[in-house]
Structure 1
Amino acid sequence: MTSTRPVRIAVQIRPQHAPYERIRDVAAELEDAGVDILFNWDHFFPLSGEPDGLHFESWTMLAAFAEQTSRVEIGALVNCNSYRNAQLQADMARTIDHISAKGGTGRFIFGTGSGWFERDYVEYGYDFGTVGSRLDDLAASLPLIEERWARLNPAPTRKIPVLIGGGGERKTLRLVAKHADIWHSFSDLPTLDRKLGILAKHGEDVGRDVSEIEISTEVANRSIDEATALHERGATLFTLGTGGPDYAIPGLDEWLSWRDGLNA
């Protein structure tokens, strides 16, 4: 079941092991190359390499990306709901939406999730809780974020797209069915097939046509043939990852050509 949505290529710029000047240059290079979306991640420490290596914070970087760029969409893959008051997150997202608009429509994607990296919590003084409690907190926050968007002055420039990351079948996919415009996972083809069926059932339960939801997946370790099979099942947003110090993305030109061929 191939989606009629255009295929998009995103790159997650992992904000680790490089000075900010290099990260800024990479963002510019990727926009010039023609990628559709720039993501970062919402952690406080590197997730690979030297554990105490260079690292920068997500939201302030996204505001800088919003000012620096003019075409690409931007967001976190994904924001950690636990670190910030829900209503503050809404206001921050609306502000970046306006920064990115530059007289037109904003380019911010509100990517969010429940959090998982314990060191972030312990060293910054947040309650780590459990997988279940963090998901419950996310479920409580999403309606507050949506309500705050409706009350802010000025309002967002558009309906800010909500991306929810994760594949939990009982809680996460229900949140996707209720709130998400984009669902991001790391699923292979059999897993994606199964989870799309579960997502459709949650959609029936909450009264949502889940065909409205864009299907997003990570392809950093996948071939174009594998991505083609995922596209044939409905995925249209494909994310490559890159990290410092060099930020190499082998095969980026091939991925962009593949996108363009499918969208022709």
Structure 2
Amino acid sequence: YGYEFGTAIGRLHQLRDDLPRIKARLGKLTPGPVGSLPILVGGSGEKVTLRLVAEHADAWNSFGPPESWAAKNAILDEWCEKVGRDPKAVERTVCISADEVDSAEAYAEVGAEHVIVMSGDPFDLDALARLKDALSS
């Protein structure tokens, strides 16, 4: 599309500048959506990304292991408090690979509300069956 990819911090600064415009535009869709379109920001950078999540996102997605995810989750809570937002206003999600589904419960215990399972091709239905079993017990 002719856009320069730039650096990670440059892209984050661009996202910081664009998120208010994105939210404003989503609020003016015609016809409007049923409900609202949530903004999910993924990443784990403690100084920029998690602050952007606290300021603008409806949901946050990151990765583990569970102990690392929990530490980032706590930092997101701190950012929410610093910017005057209720930490509970941000849904917490984690992205795991199909071979990590056995750790889903550990993520739930440290605050993950949703688990996103990545899969390659072909799709690993056995991993989803393990996840279902782990979450239903």
Q: Normalising by structure 2, what TM-score?
A: 0.88
Measured after TM superposition, the shift of residue 237 of structure 1 is 1.0
| Pairing of 1:1-264 with structure 2 (within 5 A) | 124-220=1-97, 221-224=99-102, 226-244=103-121, 246-259=122-135, 261=136
Question: Per the alignment, do residues 190 and 146 of structure 1 end up closer, same or farther by CA in structure 2, a change over 3 Å counting?
Answer: same
- Work out the CA distance in 2 between the residues paired with 1:255 and 1:130: 36
Gaps of 5+ in 1: 1-123
Measured after TM superposition, the shift of residue 247 of structure 1 is 2.5
Whichever structure has more helix as a proportion of its residues is 2
- Work out the CA distance in 1 between the residues paired with 2:127 and 2:29: 42
In our comparison, the structure showing a higher alpha carbon Rg is: 1
- Work out the CA distance in 2 between the residues paired with 1:153 and 1:240: 33
CA contact (8 A) 2:43 2:62 kept: yes
Counterpart of 1:171, as a letter, is V
Measured after TM superposition, the shift of residue 125 of structure 1 is 3.2
Equivalenced residue count is 136
CA contact (8 A) 2:101 2:130 kept: no
CA RMSD of aligned residues (A): 1.8
Using CA pairs below 8 Å that are at least 6 residues apart, which structure has the higher relative contact order? 1
Gaps of 5+ in 2: none
Structure 1 runs, 4 residues or longer, greater than 6 Å off: none
- Work out the CA distance in 1 between the residues paired with 2:43 and 2:58: 14
